[in-house]
Chain A
Amino acid sequence: MTPVLEVENLSFAYDHRAPVLAGVSFAVQSGECVGIVGANGAGKSTLLWCLLGLLKARGTVRWFGREQGRAEAGRIGVVFQNPEDQLFMPEVLEDVALGLINRGGEPAAARRQALAALQEAGLAEAAARPATQLSLGERKRAAIAAALALAPDLLLLDEPTAELDPRSVRQLAGLLAGLSMARLIASHHLEFLGRLCSRLLVLSQGRLMAQGPAAEILADAALLECAGLV
């Protein structure tokens, strides 16, 4: 079966400085939940930006078996670290529906799908409120709802637990655990990733130090120490 994402020998450097990513290779299978784990500055977010074509990297990125410079937008949902980068409409419902409408969706159908996505994210009651009136945890879930509304085959999340309190982390983990599409999550929250991911990729100074089953990686104290994660 063709992986939803294949990355071969991906490298990236800003200007002429030291490489931020060096020879990164991995694949994500359909329905799989994979975590990219690494300390601050390890290159996790840069890797996601390179995958999405927002930064121009060397190497090969194949989405759904096809090589492209830019992510195949309709099939990939992205949740950025800061939900304010995604939510700006007068109501959360409109934020969630906007992607559907921009892709040619009929407004009434977009409204229905957006409401369903908000329901899935446990935010149906917040549909008529602006994102600025929601808590950070709710805003993160609203951003996920906006991605889910597009029914993606792969969901990319950049530091989804950043600045969240323990209860919001639990709610977020519950929401993400219930999804069936492939998920690629960049984070340094080991407990969160351990709860969700079947496989982890350990990134350190732009290099893939290790990859394997989450339980094995998380049990390897020496590896975590070396990667600056404990």
Chain B
Amino acid sequence: MRRLIPILVFAAALALMQWAGGLPVTTLPLTTLAVCVVTLTLARLLRWEGWVFRVRPGSRRYSALLFALFVRHFAGILGTETRRVLIARRLAAPRTLGAGGARSLLFALAALFGRALTRAERFYAAQSLGGMTD
């Protein structure tokens, strides 16, 4: 369940940004959370090894399995990045409460989004060059 905390933070920050930006708060944060919960639960319950050699490439099942692995991988990345950002915040801002604490938390969340976006962009680039989009 601890792996879901960064996703929860991410989804909550997403909703907060939509609200703060004057945009309608969509179901995207909830969808993100639901997809991650389902995928991470399945990842715990099922064995995933070797499926790429058994499932027909290009089939719906193949795409669904790849998608699930992307989500699992990205949940891991998000977890790592969240830990890094929060450690950096703790070291840089001794006060975690009050105005200073809230400001440092906002900066940390903004940094988390930036880093997550960069990692997602690189992952997409690597996979598309690896033939994923052929």
Contact = CB atoms under 8 A, between A and B. Distances in A.
Q: State whether these chains interact.
A: yes
Contacts of A150: 131
Interface stretch (B1-9, B16-24, B100-108, B122-130): B122-130
Given A97-B52, A99-B130, 18 more contacts: A54-B125, A73-B129, A78-B126, A78-B129, A80-B122, A80-B125, A82-B122, A84-B77, A86-B130, A88-B72, A88-B123, A89-B52, A90-B51, A99-B131, A102-B134, A103-B134, A107-B54, A110-B53
Interface of A: 49, 52, 54, 71, 73-74, 76, 78, 80, 82, 84-86, 88-91, 94, 97-99, 101-104, 107-108, 110-111, 128, 132, 146, 150
28 contacts: A52-B125, A52-B129, A73-B134, A74-B131, A76-B129, A80-B125, A84-B73, A85-B119, A85-B125, A86-B126, A88-B69, A88-B72, A88-B123, A90-B69, A91-B49, A94-B49, A94-B50, A94-B52, A94-B53, A98-B130, A98-B132, A99-B130, A101-B52, A103-B131, A103-B134, A107-B54, A110-B53, A128-B49
Interface of B: 48-54, 57, 69-70, 72-73, 76-77, 119, 122-123, 125-127, 129-132, 134
A52 B125 CA distance: 9
A102 B53 contact: no
Contacts of B125: 49, 52, 54, 80, 85
Contacts, number: 77
A118 to B, nearest CB: 15
